[in-house]
Chain A
Amino acid sequence: MVTRTTPFEGQKTILEEELHKLAGSVPDPELPVLTLEELGVLRAVHVRGGGAVEVELTPTYTGCPAIEAMSADIERVLHEHGVPEVTVQTVLSPAWTTDDISDEGRRKLREFGIAPPRTQRATGPVPISLGPTRTAAHTPGGAAETPPAVGPEADPVRCPHCGSADTELLSRFSSTACKALRRCLSCREPFDHFKEL
């Protein structure tokens, strides 16, 4: 598993590393196949005076309601481990991106039937040009599909079931804010795609 460090992390003590692992092993409340570490939302764990522990968590989307469940789960796990006082803080900066999902996390998403986000990994701001979709191409007068929002054009969203690159967008928003609904044109299965953010 890839261990990700944030610019804000200084030298961690052994205890902090242990607590970080514990907090990071908490499953995501909406996608329980992923841990918070694999999702890349756990930013830091600090041990303060008197054994109080501060955890920094970043939301995937600003309005993601799962953040409250995540905080409660982290608090519970750390309490069970004997930490008397746990404070979970939400930090916004630097903004979470789907590139923060680990390779292991991506593999698990695919296994779970969700197409993982394509990596962006560009330096600096990523210009996003969103265009009409394949759905629009079926509408009289609609425009043809333009390149996807992000990621190289040669990198299609693949069906997590059969691996086909021949998939179409059904809706930009799906069961949660972070996913889009697509359909595979080879095996005809609809599937969720974790949108690039």
Chain B
Amino acid sequence: MTVTAGSTAALALGDDALVLSHRLGEWAGKAPVLEEEVALANIALDLLGQARVLLSMAGDEDELAYLREERDFRNLQLVEQPNGDFAHTITRQLYFSTYQRLLYAELAAGDGQFAPLAAKAVKEVAYHQDHAEQWTLRLGDGTAESHRRMREACEALWRYTAEMFHPVEGVDVNWKDLETSWLESVSAVLRRATLDVPEGPRSGAWTAGAGRQGLHTEPFGRMLAEMQHLHRSHPGASW
């Protein structure tokens, strides 16, 4: 496969959507309440739809999803992080959906190859962001236990948030402005939820931009093994 700037970008955005979709799908059957089960599955479905369009821009969607090795995935490390407790999942949603909404709004306003998809997806993502914000408020400003768990999750995932703003070749946006808007938006939600904005570093020496270069965290390999094993064991299988 020839990797052009366009397909590099499609892989980066498509892998973000695919991997987060799979993580959210892992909640099926064990979400805290039925409404959340349905909500997380619906968000996962939106992301999967976006992933299918994006990966099809880079090649064959099934081959890209099921037959690539870990090092060939270009997703952010944030989206591959395990679900953890519900607070971790909500924090990951808050960080990512805020980013995705800002990014897609920019892409939708342009006339690049991603504009049609972005214009469509940004409206879906607005609901994802709202969902994450409402839970952040309820959990952060809830009981002592829910507050503690949210605080821990916000701090634990903070180190993966700088990577989102490393420029991606073929994505024509002002990354600095995007980062400023993201920090403002997330900080405002955290403050309303009576949570402190984490003070730790937003990347580690080993995480800066790593996911976009194919370097992933340990849990990602296990996730991929589960996601790909059926297709690899039974090539061409269908329902």
Contacts and interface: CB of A to CB of B under 8 A. Distances in A.
B141 interface: yes
Interface residues of B, number: 35
A130 B133 contact: yes
7 contacts: A63-B47, A63-B48, A92-B116, A142-B141, A170-B35, A173-B38, A175-B38
A95 B119 contact: yes
Q: Which of A63, A172, A195 has the most CB of B within 10 A?
A: A63
Interface string B114-139: 01110111011011011101100110
A3 interface: no
Nearest to A169: B134
A59 B53 CA distance: 12
A176 B36 CA distance: 13
Of A94, A96, A128, most buried by chain B (CB within 10 Å of CB) is A128
Contact of A177 (B36, B42, B121, B131): B42
B117 A62 contact: yes
A139 B141 CA distance: 10
Among A61, A133, A139, A143, max chain B CB count under 10 A is at A61
A65 interface: yes
Contacts of B52: 62-63
Given A63-B45, A139-B138, A177-B46, A149 B120 contact: no
Contacts of B35: 170-171, 173, 181
Contacts of A176: 42
In order of increasing CB-CB distance, the 10 nearest A-B pairs are A63-B49, A130-B130, A62-B49, A93-B116, A171-B35, A173-B39, A95-B120, A173-B42, A92-B116, A141-B141
